[in-house]
Structure 1
Amino acid sequence: MEEIEMATKHEQILNYIADLAVGEKISVRSIAKALRVSEGTAYRAIKDAETAGIVSTIERVGTIRIEQKPANPDDQLSFAELVEMLDARVLGGESGLNKRLNKFVIGAMTKAAMGPYITQNSLMIVGNREEAQQLALENGAAVLITGGFETSQAVIQLANELALPVLQTNNDTFTVATLINRALSDQAIKQDIVTVASVYTPKLQLVVLHPEDTVADYQQLSPVTVPVVTNTGRLVGVVTPKDVAGKKPSMLIDRVMQRDPLTVKPYLSVATVSHTMQGNGVERLPVVDDSWQLLGMVTQRAIANSLSGTAHQGTSDGTFADQVAQQIEAADLSGNNYQFQPLPMMTNSLGALSFGVLTEVVNQAVTAFLGHNQYQNVLVEQMALNNFRPVPLESRVNLAITALELNRSHASLDVDLTSDGRRIAKAVVTCQLLERN
């Protein structure tokens, strides 16, 4: 009866929070006082509300009621993340901090000229020009005031009404533009990487058990790994067919379940999770948040399907790995020989190819070799690279690859690197080949 009462109080708190106005601040103490519950109960409910996306805790601001996040939000930069990244101060529009930023505009032109460049959910970077700040807000853009300048109460009031943040930073315009541009580029790269968040089965579509359920309850379900959760949704274990084999139907799940099970977070890449699953011989894993609240389950089949044809293509600039890959080409039709032409940006201060770049060159050549042999999902596990002499700028690197061992799940390869007819390095690489079906 006590657990049922606690669950009811929990739901009452969530409903109370959901009824609050967007932008209103809350705290454990205020919730506990308003609903006459313990601070521990209030804390758990607030964490669940944060998981549900109806509140957010923002550094130097506090916990506030926000508009509910979509089930699968785009992995874009939020204004709240800008606050932390730029060590900025929030002057107004706190309830809009969780909105997503898609571009920024530098307000260095006249008011009439900047109008066409301002769009919804963009960011206007400007100094102490209140007319430009107001124009940005009226057109749906947030404002970042550089140089430590303040703004008027009228601008702050407009920001609060429109739920558009007005931020202040002591940094100059060039510095903040550089930082934001790098962050937007990083976010664009992240969007090309498939994560668990896009492939797991949500909790609402799952059957779960509770510690007070019995073996008989499990036996009525499909013989798969089933998560065990508390009344508040916290994962406490899993049950598999092996766990209940030979057990009495009346035995409690709490006595047979696997405690502290292996779990994954939604932001992990599918390649990382595939490696974890294969290494531990499991086909289903619970997906949890940082508070161990169950979000769903991910299966090896879903991971395998997502790996089919998901080779990262990158953007116009792409990642460092993309830039190295663009400089590698097959030297012949055998698929065993490759050439690499270094770029000036890949050399160190002495004008020689850096060791880190050379490692990535081997990585990309090995991936290309295995791709030629119909292995598309490659994870380099170990590399022993001996660098004998420096590679100067303008020198072409030749890579000859020989398979020492190659089977369905693993590959061991010998890589011989030469330049101008001389051996410059030798590598032995071990890879795991992630299955697609």
Structure 2
Amino acid sequence: MDGYYAFMLVATLLVLLMTTPALALFYGGMTRSKSVLNMMMMSFVSMAIVGIVYVLWGWSMSFSDGFSGDGKLFADPFKLFGLKDVTPDNYIYVMFQLTFAVITAALISGAIADRVKFSAWVVFLPLWVTFSYFPLAHMVFGGGLIGGKIGAQDYAGGTAVHINAGVAGLVLALLVGKRVGWPKDPGRPHSLPLTMIGAGLLWVGWYGFNVGSIVPAALGDADFDTAQFYAETGRTFANTTVATMAAILGWLAIERLLHGKATSLGAASGIVAGLVAITPACGAVNISGAIAIGAIAGAICAYAVGLKFKFGLDDSLDVVGVHLVGGIVGTLLIGVFSTKDGAAGIDGLIYGGGFGSLGDQALGALIAIAWSGVVTLVLGLAIKFTIGWRIAEEDEVAGIDLAEHGESAYDIHSGGGSGVLTGQGGKA
């Protein structure tokens, strides 16, 4: 078990890396230069607020009933409040799950970039994770309604994380409204190198996300099966890798077909789309299934992100097109490509398993969509009609970084003065 705990320490740190700096850089580079600090701050404050809330009542609300398959919507938030009665040897798994809650909430921020009050985001975070994320975490990972009673497969969070965050992003983008000047001014990325660095770091961190999710089957000395552990970690690692590679190609192919160019933003977005789609399926499918899921998700998500202009949805950084659509694609395709050699031992449609698994996956996805949609709508409306979501129009035009944080990301001086270095000839 010593090796297992070392493994989980690394996995937890990798998932922590996914929010800061990876997501902060990925989203930050995609925003305008006058919004980059605010965008990154939304990830950083998600880490702080959601993390504290998680150890107070999030763990209890998600996992205080263990993995009993109770079919409930959520567990008792007070049973293990403040990690009461949780022994220190289990803290590592608490911290691992904490990082999932953090990044799920942070993902939503990309849909409402450039235009919301920082105070509104701070109020939204603890409410949303309490009423949307923690219940869905119990339903999916804690043996609740989706994973326990229905039996839908979700290895690392296609429903609880990506569909949940994607639906929330959709609802908030509609409630908050469009940015000033959109779509005439689409708000082009100010630093694609930052976005590509962020995407690369997300890919690295995602191995903790997917491979580390073997932990429920590995808890306790008596239940630890070394051979199963090696097989499952190898499968999830390989599937995560090849699906992401295939998704890049799928995304770039659609870009080339529709727009005549294969872009760096497309490659970065393809990475994330592939990672999102393989997240629920990484333990259920074989290598060929992983490649198929990645390629399909990359292509569909590439097409989906362009639809926001058709429907007038200002989803600033494509949370809906990548996380909601990619999460649905990955969740549903488990019912097509899963094999009996996978973690749940279920054959999908193409392996003779019929439509049963596909039906379970669809029902699980629908429950996640409905739960997140209703909760986010109620909370979003409550904030809209109390403290309000939007910053002033003039502040949005001038730049949200300065208005909300009193800072600018890039202090660039041109001209003379003491800030300009001169050479031997005295000329700048």
- TM-score, normalising length: structure 2: 0.25
Q: Which has the higher contact order (CA 8 A, sep 6+)?
A: 2
- TM-score, normalising length: structure 1: 0.24
Structure with max Cα Rg = 1
If each structure's helix is expressed as a fraction of its own residues, which one has the higher value?
Answer: 2
